[in-house]
Amino acid sequence: MSAVTVAHDTDGVTIAVFLVLFGAVTIIGFVAARWQRAKTASLDEWGLGGRRFGSVITWFLLGGDLYTAYTFVAVPALVFGVGAQGFFALPYTILVYPLVFVALPRLWTVAHRKGYVTPADFVRGRFGSRNLSTAIALTGLLATMPYIALQLVGIQVVLGAMGITGDWPLILAFAILAGYTYQSGLRAPALIAVVKDVLIYLTIIVAVIYIPSKLGGFGHIFDTAGAALTKKDPPGALIPGTTDAQVAYATLALGSAMALFLYPHALTASLSASSATTLRRNAAVLPAYSFLLGLIALLGYMAITAGIQPSGPNYAVPDLFAFMFPGWFTGVAFAAIAIGALVPAAVMSIAAANLFTRNLWAEYVNPNMTDEEESKVAKIVSLGVKLGALAFVIVLPTKYAIDLQLLGGVWILQTAPAVALGLYRRMHRHALLAGWATGMAVGTALAIDQSFKSSVYPLDFLGLHINAYEAVYALAANLVVSIVGTLVLNALKVPNGPDATAPEDYVAPVDAGGAPLPATADEDRRAGRFQRPASTGART
């Protein structure tokens, strides 16, 4: 295996193919404003696409939203660097879908009935606590902002691999993104996701057939990668060999699975579905993306076998494609990665705008906004969110975005007791707020103690040595405080907040034969009467 250093030269063919495909999705983004356009301007229409995406569009949107450009760059880069530990993303995206099948249709149903647009809307109604819903909204914003910045990192890597330097191409790309997101809302990434997924599947299928044929087959790839990983500092492996590594792998997978659909962008894409049945169908077929993710991860081993010596880990896959393929196909692959950044970045900015508008601006500044005013505020905020992410990447080192995104996973999991468990059981609002604060403090402290170098924390407790995902420790502390606090506060008869939901709000109506019936809110929405939920009046 000889070392290969790929020069990041400007190749006219690669850039031409890249620009053609990028231009095509730009047109689609602006045209999307006319697709299924409603007669009324509202946050429900702009921020959730009118809640009428069917099974096919929802599948593409969720896949494009959850499997981001940074995933396509970072997962094989992690495999390239450490081996098997990088595959933790594969089981967690499998574990998550049974959870989605059970819980998400229930959230969709109550959100549809009550007009909820964000998870903080649900918490506000369920627990009658403005403070708790504000905490959920702020956590979502904190976790989302660095995630958007990482999509920019994915585009930066692709541009750098093509020899395009400077900030202006990145600024131009996100100006285009801002333009069609402002105009089309969630409809833009929904349509672009179709193009993105076709390009990604085409690129990866060709890669996993062609590259191994040039490198001596998968057997040779695994043998070579296994030998090379043991020589890295620290040593990597094809299989986690120690108990510590296995526990870390398992807790990373489990914690990430529980956190994935708590992210605002995942819930925004889910609430845009036309029915709870649509979400169940998608939970059954979305594991196809996990299969794709496994193939993408294998590119890390292929880069090792090909002898790629990237300037940084994130360049492992771009350099592999540039080395193995002709310029035109490399352009297709790079366009797929860049377009793969646009879809999640758009959904994330929309989700952040929804949270800010509904749960901060409408709650504290202007609670009497009309639907049109609410939609306008969200559009403006979405521009500000993108601008902030762009400034983050340009001004600060990429390391900070990565560190904060890892911390974002720890933070977002602390919303689970209020959002996920709140769908089934109503704990005390004060206990939930105390539990959230405890989990946030514990998770942040563990990350700081590790100097943000790892999301796995080695803990020695009562003679036991546990090497686990920081978010799991934080969630355990959160749950202890929330459950014990609820028992104590209920025993002391401390009043809980009013519950704006009823048991029947969580169950989709069915006819005598068990077939689902449209919810009343669906008829209201089509008639232009779909309103945001009224404030409960609770101040704590």
Taking CB atoms within 8 Å and a gap of at least 24, the contacts of 223-228 are 224/1, 224/304, 224/305, 225/83, 225/300, 225/301, 225/304, 225/305, 226/83, 228/1, 228/304
3 state SS of 112? helix
Q: At what angle do helices 327-356 and 371-395 cross, to 10 degrees?
A: 130
Q: Are strands 456-461 and 464-469 parallel, antiparallel or unpaired?
A: antiparallel
pLDDT digits (tens, 9 = 90+) for 245-276: 778 878 888 888 888 889 999 999 999 998 99
Cβ distance 75 to 337 under 8 Å? no
What residues does each domain of the chain span? 12-414
Cβ distance 300 to 76 under 8 Å? yes
| Residue 110, phi then psi, degrees to nearest 5 | -70, -35
Taking CB atoms within 8 Å and a gap of at least 24, the contacts of 102-107 are 103/261, 103/420, 103/423, 104/261, 104/270, 104/279, 104/283, 105/276, 105/277, 105/279, 105/280, 105/508, 106/276, 106/423, 106/424, 106/506, 107/267, 107/270, 107/271, 107/419, 107/423
| Residue 4, phi then psi, degrees to nearest 5 | -125, 120
| Residue 471, phi then psi, degrees to nearest 5 | -65, -30
Counting Cα atoms < 13 Å in the Cβ hemisphere of 351 gives 34
Counting Cα atoms < 13 Å in the Cβ hemisphere of 308 gives 31
Question: Which amino acid would we find at residue 62?
Answer: L
CA distance 205 to 210: 9
Q: At what angle do helices 327-356 and 69-82 cross, to 10 degrees?
A: 110
Per-residue 3-state assignment (H helix, E strand, C coil) for 12-80: HHHHHHHHHHHHHHHHHHHHHHHCCCCCCCCHHHHHHHHHCECHHHHHHHHHHHHCCHHHHHHHHHHHH
3 state SS of 241? coil
Q: Which residues pair with 237 in a beta bridge?
A: 83
In this prediction the pTM is 0.88
Q: Which residues pair with 466 in a beta bridge?
A: 459
Angle at 45 between CA 40 and CA 48, to 5 degrees: 170
Render 396-452 in DSSP notation, one character per residue.
S-HHHHHHHHHHHHHHHGGGHHHHTGGGT----HHHHHHHHHHHHHHHHHHHHHTTT
pLDDT of residue 22: 87
3 state SS of 117? coil
pLDDT in tens, the chain (540 residues): 566 666 566 678 888 999 999 888 888 888 876 776 655 578 888 888 888 888 999 998 888 888 877 778 888 888 888 888 778 778 877 888 888 899 999 999 999 999 999 999 999 999 999 999 999 999 999 898 888 888 888 888 888 888 887 778 888 888 888 888 888 888 888 888 888 888 888 999 999 999 999 999 999 999 998 888 888 767 777 776 666 777 887 888 888 888 888 999 999 999 999 899 999 999 888 888 888 888 888 999 999 999 888 887 788 888 899 889 998 999 999 998 888 888 888 899 999 999 999 999 999 999 888 888 898 999 999 999 888 888 877 877 666 666 677 788 899 999 999 999 999 999 999 999 999 999 999 999 998 888 877 788 888 777 777 888 899 999 999 999 999 999 999 999 999 989 999 999 998 765 445 455 554 444 444 333 334 555 444 444
* Structure token pair of residue 69: 């450009």
* Structure token pair of residue 492: 């002391």
| Whole-number average pLDDT of the chain | 84
CA distance 169 to 146: 20
Cβ distance 235 to 15 under 8 Å? no
Q: Is the dihedral of CA 162, 165, 169, 170 positive or negative?
A: positive
CA distance 457 to 464: 13
Cβ distance 295 to 73 under 8 Å? no
Which residues, including other chains, have CB under 8 Å from residue 281's CB and lie 6 or more apart? 55
Cβ distance 256 to 414 under 8 Å? no
Cβ distance 468 to 251 under 8 Å? yes
Q: Which of 415, 357, 348, 401 is nearest to 381 (CA)?
A: 357
pLDDT of residue 533: 53
CA distance 445 to 55: 41
Which residues, including other chains, have CB under 8 Å from residue 179's CB and lie 6 or more apart? 29, 30
Q: Does the domain made of 12-414 have the CATH classification 3.30.1280.10?
A: no
CA distance 353 to 145: 11
* Structure token pair of residue 38: 């409603």
CA distance 1 to 210: 18
